[in-house]
Structure 1
Amino acid sequence: MSRIPPALLYLTIYNPTLQPTGPNNDDDEDAEEQAHVLFYTARERAVSRDKILRQVGLAKALVNFSSMLGAETPCENVHSQSRRMIMLSPEPNFWIHACVELAKTPRQVTPKRNAPKTKGKEPVAKPEVVYDHHDGSLSDLALRTHIQRGYELFKLIHGSFTSIISTLGQQALELQLERFFTVWAWKWDADEDTTFSLHLGLPLHPLYRSLTTILDEFASQLSFDTTTFLINAAQVIPSTSLLKSGYAPTLPGHIGTRIPPSPPPVLKASSSTGTVVLPKTHTPPEESGPKSSEKPQDAKPSFMPMPHMNLDMRNIKWSWPGYLTFGRAKSGGSPSIPPTPAEPETSQTNAHSVPQDSTKEEHAGEEEAAASPLATPPMAIDTESLQDAISSDHALSTQPPTPSLNTAPLSSQNDEHAVSTAESVPSSDEAGEEAPSEKSDGEASKEDELISDDSQGRTHDSADAEEQDNTPSEEVEAVVARDEELPLPIYLPTTVHLSSGDDATMTRKKRVWHATLHTMTFALVVDYDHPQEQLPPTTDVAKLFRDVEFVIKSEETKVLEASIPTVTKLLEPQDKHIIVTGPFTVSSQGGFTSRSEHFFSGQQILRSDLDAQEVFSRGANPQHWYVSRRCPGGDDVDDSTSGEAYMEIARKESTLTDVDNALAGIVRRFVEG
């Protein structure tokens, strides 16, 4: 049968010290109890007031009963056969109470053998559906962490419960709770949140130690006190000021949701190629045409029916490529290859009226086409037919030059032809009156300048085409990337509420300015009225991005050069680990996405009052090792004196000693940096 995932039943926020604000009605005995409830939402669309008060009253009774027993902490969670009840007090006298149903599987109930038989057509009662609930589908720590993060997000956006009710009143607090937690509660998927690494903390960049130094150096050059951090591909690069602050877990995650989507990449080419710059994305054919409402009446439909195959094959114009044409074999010679049948008449009729300059331009165009890397190889030309077709005074030679990648011989031939033509024309001094010149000296000089400019232009163009063809594509891309100017990031503001001083319940407005370039975001926290003109220039921020990216690329290159994969390493399963250091986590290269109950149980034991230092467990199918251990989180985090390390080893032949040594090595390398 299909498994039904865990789901939220109801969520409520209450304060047992609140009193009714309106006129007190003596007949209404539940008015005071109702005044305690600030927010309530349930899976059922309509819930009576009596049911709400019973559910809130049960939570109050459990908390009061546990406090009467002299426990240091009041009741935090209650287990039943089908539910989990979580009680969390984020601020004094304020409680968040959630009830979540466990994952369940419907079970088919067989009818009893001794059941009385029905007579006639009496309706048979439907069998009762029985569910088997999975007790290990939810973790108390994971549920509490998720609710705590929801409160911290509300506090970051709107402020704390105490500050809102003291400045704006109870009605304003109820309105803001309704707007935020109604959406937040029903976006919560408890089944997806069962991944072990989701409730541990925000992921740190693997090179955060060296990158934090660059960020601290950049922040030290600012003229005002601020808290800075970087976000690169959903990984946080914190500064020292962020590690020492109390809002580290929530602030970077909230700013990560405010990052605008990056624009589509643009394909750019060198200016010498003359390629038009186009975006990488393309418009679908149906969008490029007219819309359906503006479509003309004579427009063809998008789908054309297939016609009957009764076409006259003699009237079809076949456009075969040049290498599939068949010419007539002349007597005593090899068969000639005529031009392509698409334009035979045009090339013959225009040959009589082509001047010399245009002929040179055509040859220059043919040389450029031959110099391109996509050009087809030169073909043999029927010189006799070409000589018969050309009858003008400026006829070409019987053997035209074959196009080649090197255009220097062609330019020299054109220059010699221009010089010989100029010498053959008699000047005015030699011929005198017998042979008057057809053009004046000024017109002749202009013509010579045009011819020389034309030949030089063709020479430069052919040289550029030759250089472009000989240059590898990798070098061209490197030059384009080097000469291309990176766009500057733009500052965007986000208003947040952060705690001031030692009192975490009192918040005030602050502003976070963040700038994004590609996948990297720089953010700094300043006062709410801090002028934007005093922010660091975007050119400095772009330089910071380049420095960070350079360190990341260089480190990745070293790792690739040092690690040589072998067949054994590729075939054997890789170990996975994650280390918790304060409010952040550092995981293995492939990530840590385990859902094993062994890790949830190990974390529960480590954070209990049993003073356990490490927990070893092994599964039956598959036979993996699961290790949980207390470890120092590093000297760069203040509250990291008791970090945690979790590791999964998938090798069956590993012994307990091998598992212990593997985890000890990972912890040692992390602490040493």
Structure 2
Amino acid sequence: MSRIPPALLYLTVFNPTLRPTNTTVAPEDEEDAEEQAHVLFYTARERAVSRDKILRQVGLAKALINFAGMFDPLAVCDNVHSQSRRMVMLSPEPDFWIHACVELAKTPKQVTPKRKDPKSKGKEPAPKPDITYDYHDGSVGDLSLRSHLLKGYELFKLLHGSFSSILLSLGQQALELQLERFFTVWGWKWDMEEDTFSSHLGIPLHPLHRSLTPMLDEFVSRLPYNATSFMINNSLLIPSTALASSSYAAVLPGHIATRIPPPPPPLMHSEASSSAATVVPLEETEVTLPHSSEPGTKSPAKSSEPDSNKTFMPGMNIDMKHLKWSWPGYLTFGKSKSSSPSIPTTPVATDVVSPQPQAITKPSLSTEIKADEDIKDTPQLVAPAVDVDTESLQDAISSEHPHSTRTTPPSLPSIEPSPASIPLPLDDDLAFPASEEQQDRESNKSSPDQTPASPQEEQTVDDPQDNEPSSEQQQIETLPVEAADSGPHIPTTPPLLYLPTTVHLATEDAPTMTRKMKVWHVTRNATTFALVVDLEHSQDELPMLSHIATLFDDVELTVESEESKTLEASIPTLSKILEPKDKHIISTGHYTLSPPQNGFTSRSEHFFNGQQILRGDLDAQEVFSRGQNPQHWYISKKGLGSNEAGEAVEGEAYMEIARKESTLTDAGNALAGVIRRFAET
């Protein structure tokens, strides 16, 4: 049958030194009132619990504590084991106790009912099968339970203050209210089945913290005031020297990590440019086109269209009835008088302005072509007459491949369209005049015996320098082209911003007396910088955001360079890839260290038992154990060797070896190699 995970039965906080505040109590109820005044908080899995049951459970915990203190005043009753439960007592502050009762994991089993007595007469109802449970003694560890309770207390202390400070400043009723608001939610979010062995060892350190911590200390040392700082990079802590020596080093970084807002969706380059642009009404905008004959003419506003009619092509307000293509006899599609395609006598314009996309918020450059009456009044730009050898061009066209779809003569310069837009045929009024260099090139290519152009085809052109657009006009016209030719969208990093968080911190001299402090933190990508200052500290005195951005750049550059070196030096072979990976974790004080590719997420009870033995009274230094299925080695070791000065390094190392062919000697050598590399780095 299915296994039922361990679960919390009840959680309580009490203080045996408290006295009832109500003096109008009957003499027979004084004892119960005094016992009830000791209980500051209580919650249970049962929805309704009587007062007598609460007092009995709290009274049992107080009796166990007093009984253990009779033999040794310094020895504290930490936990009590039974067949189905674990009772844990923790005293985070003098006279204050946190008591939790946990039910062990269990597996239900059915008991076969007894057979009926053959001598019995009549029909009796079949008895229901009795359900009993097999409890798993190693499903929870005493140290992990105590560590989780202590972590909950430290978090409450960080958010609200210590029990003693609240009781002195606000009173018992305020303390009971804050305890209920916090521990009710915290207690029933506790999932013991999901707790890993590494979760209660400490906060994971960054593998490069020894090279990044001096960089952070040097940055904070330039501040004109004393402050504690730390950084978080990819959920890994980079502590400063001041944080490592503080009393809140184990809980503050974890709380700030939960306050970091999720990263916003990256701004694309086009969105950033459009958001920064200023929208100007088209009716009030006067745009001078370099192709128009009258400077200062206003660009007509675009006709408003519903959103449902919008397509991926930009809107064009063109009068198709009166539009002049100015390509006589070229795109006639076989309806011209001559059998051979006629060649235009004017070269194609080499500079075409692409239509403005709708996404750009600059004023639109699309113009509505007026009627013939308005066009006649406007002087038009005409191209010069160019002598072209028609017979040579016709021969060149006829010599093309029979399946070729090319319509532009080879001798004419081909126009490369913009990658963002396809040029549309424009009217002569919107075409640039041909340059003098192009006219000379076309004249040199023409034959001397070419027939001169007819008088009707002779036209005059103004000086092209007179019609060159100004710098402001070029900027207006090139805006749509630049936005369209910008290529792939480049994510834009959001601007840096300080975010405040108020916490309650204590000092080493008075760990039970807390005061309000403020933590300012800045996040960019996966890196966060946090600075702990006084509550009255002004934001104007914080480091400049540009300096923090430089610090982020230095940290990210260091991390990337070290990762590239590690990747180049550790290229695995095929046998290494297929070989099971060994996993290890090192605990030093409030922090843990494990390779990122290690992925130490073990829940094996071998590690919990090994840790219990190392921290017990047996004075054990190493614990080796091996499982049966799978046959892995589990090693626990106390002490991390010695440093350069010859001093012993305190800490613990835990390692899991997945190779079943490994011997005890191989397991010891592997752990010794891990500790040696830790000491070298």
Residues 558 and 357 (structure 1 numbering): CA distance in 2 closer, same or farther, change over 3 Å?
Answer: farther
Residues 85 and 116 (structure 1 numbering): CA distance in 2 closer, same or farther, change over 3 Å?
Answer: farther
Q: Conserved in 2, the CA contact under 8 Å of 1:580 and 1:633?
A: no
1:418 aligns with 2:436: no
Residues 145 and 277 (structure 1 numbering): CA distance in 2 closer, same or farther, change over 3 Å?
Answer: same
C-alpha separation in 1, matches of 2:541 and 2:345: 67
**Local SS of the residue matching 2:130:** coil
Specify the alignment match of 1:59 in structure 2.
61
1:613 aligns with 2:621: yes
Q: Conserved in 2, the CA contact under 8 Å of 1:617 and 1:627?
A: yes
1:16 aligns with 2:16: yes
Specify the alignment match of 1:219 in structure 2.
220
Higher helix proportion: 1
1:590-627 CA distance string (max 9 Å, x none): 22111111111110000001111111111112111111
Matches within 5 A, 1:1-400: 1-23=1-23, 24-28=25-29, 29-70=31-72, 72-114=74-116, 123-193=125-195, 195-268=196-269, 348=332, 359-360=348-349, 397=409
Shift, 1:347, TM fit: 5.9
1:297-343 CA distance string (max 9 Å, x none): xx99xxxxxxxxxxxxxxxxxxxxxxxxxxxxxxxxxxxxxxxxxxx
Shift, 1:405, TM fit: 10
Residues 357 and 517 (structure 1 numbering): CA distance in 2 closer, same or farther, change over 3 Å?
Answer: farther
C-alpha separation in 2, matches of 1:182 and 1:610: 38
Identity %: 59
C-alpha separation in 1, matches of 2:26 and 2:506: 39
Matches within 5 A, 1:389-468: 397=409, 418-419=439-440, 444-445=462-463, 449-450=466-467
**Local SS of the residue matching 2:557:** helix
Q: Which amino acid aligns with 2:439?
A: A
1:239-294 CA distance string (max 9 Å, x none): 111111111000100111110111112343799xxx9899xxxxxxxxxxxxxxxx
Q: Conserved in 1, the CA contact under 8 Å of 2:267 and 2:494?
A: no
Specify the alignment match of 2:376 in structure 1.
none
Residues 205 and 603 (structure 1 numbering): CA distance in 2 closer, same or farther, change over 3 Å?
Answer: same
Q: Which amino acid aligns with 1:199?
A: H
Residues 412 and 450 (structure 1 numbering): CA distance in 2 closer, same or farther, change over 3 Å?
Answer: closer
Residues 61 and 403 (structure 1 numbering): CA distance in 2 closer, same or farther, change over 3 Å?
Answer: same
C-alpha separation in 2, matches of 1:577 and 1:220: 35
Shift, 1:660, TM fit: 1.2
Specify the alignment match of 2:527 in structure 1.
520
Out of 65-74 and 512-521, give the one that drifted further.
Answer: 65-74
C-alpha separation in 2, matches of 1:533 and 1:96: 42
C-alpha separation in 2, matches of 1:450 and 1:206: 65
Q: Which amino acid aligns with 1:622?
A: P
Q: Which amino acid aligns with 1:130?
A: T
C-alpha separation in 2, matches of 1:650 and 1:532: 52
Residues 347 and 229 (structure 1 numbering): CA distance in 2 closer, same or farther, change over 3 Å?
Answer: farther
Residues 112 and 523 (structure 1 numbering): CA distance in 2 closer, same or farther, change over 3 Å?
Answer: same
Specify the alignment match of 1:580 in structure 2.
587
Shift, 1:219, TM fit: 0.9
Q: Conserved in 1, the CA contact under 8 Å of 2:113 and 2:127?
A: no
1:657 aligns with 2:665: yes
**Local SS of the residue matching 1:106:** strand
Specify the alignment match of 1:600 in structure 2.
608
C-alpha separation in 1, matches of 2:664 and 2:627: 13
Partner residue of 1:531 out of 535, 538, 558: 538
Q: Which amino acid aligns with 1:161?
A: F
Specify the alignment match of 1:311 in structure 2.
none
Specify the alignment match of 1:643 in structure 2.
651
Partner residue of 1:551 out of 553, 558, 575: 558
Shift, 1:69, TM fit: 2.1
1:158-197 CA distance string (max 9 Å, x none): 000001001110001001001100110011111111x111
Q: Conserved in 2, the CA contact under 8 Å of 1:383 and 1:399?
A: no
Q: Which amino acid aligns with 2:664?
A: L
C-alpha separation in 2, matches of 1:159 and 1:413: 81
C-alpha separation in 2, matches of 1:136 and 1:99: 16
Q: Conserved in 2, the CA contact under 8 Å of 1:5 and 1:104?
A: yes
Shift, 1:402, TM fit: 6.2
Q: Conserved in 1, the CA contact under 8 Å of 2:636 and 2:652?
A: yes
Residues 420 and 556 (structure 1 numbering): CA distance in 2 closer, same or farther, change over 3 Å?
Answer: closer
C-alpha separation in 2, matches of 1:362 and 1:171: 82
Specify the alignment match of 1:630 in structure 2.
638
Shift, 1:530, TM fit: 1.1
C-alpha separation in 1, matches of 2:353 and 2:15: 88
Q: Conserved in 2, the CA contact under 8 Å of 1:33 and 1:53?
A: yes
Partner residue of 2:500 out of 466, 490, 493: 493
C-alpha separation in 2, matches of 1:17 and 1:239: 40
Q: Which amino acid aligns with 2:168?
A: S
Shift, 1:449, TM fit: 4.7
TM-score, normalising length: structure 2: 0.72
Shift, 1:642, TM fit: 2.4
Residues 565 and 123 (structure 1 numbering): CA distance in 2 closer, same or farther, change over 3 Å?
Answer: same
TM-score, normalising length: structure 1: 0.73
C-alpha separation in 1, matches of 2:644 and 2:652: 15
Residues 550 and 451 (structure 1 numbering): CA distance in 2 closer, same or farther, change over 3 Å?
Answer: closer
Aligned length, in residue pairs: 545
Residues 205 and 349 (structure 1 numbering): CA distance in 2 closer, same or farther, change over 3 Å?
Answer: same
Specify the alignment match of 1:312 in structure 2.
none
C-alpha separation in 2, matches of 1:634 and 1:261: 42
Runs of 5+ consecutive residues of structure 1 not aligned to the other structure: 279-298, 301-345, 366-381, 387-394, 424-433
Residues 183 and 12 (structure 1 numbering): CA distance in 2 closer, same or farther, change over 3 Å?
Answer: same
**Local SS of the residue matching 2:609:** helix
Shift, 1:126, TM fit: 2.4
Q: Which amino acid aligns with 2:658?
A: A
Q: Conserved in 2, the CA contact under 8 Å of 1:581 and 1:634?
A: no
Shift, 1:116, TM fit: 7.0
Q: Conserved in 1, the CA contact under 8 Å of 2:201 and 2:591?
A: yes
Shift, 1:528, TM fit: 1.1
Q: Conserved in 2, the CA contact under 8 Å of 1:488 and 1:538?
A: no
Partner residue of 2:676 out of 659, 668, 672: 668
C-alpha separation in 2, matches of 1:96 and 1:578: 30
Shift, 1:657, TM fit: 1.7
**Local SS of the residue matching 2:462:** helix
**Local SS of the residue matching 1:266:** coil
1:206-259 CA distance string (max 9 Å, x none): 000000010011011111011110011111000111111111000100111110
1:323-366 CA distance string (max 9 Å, x none): xxxxxxxxxxxxxxxxxxxxxxx96489999998895369998x
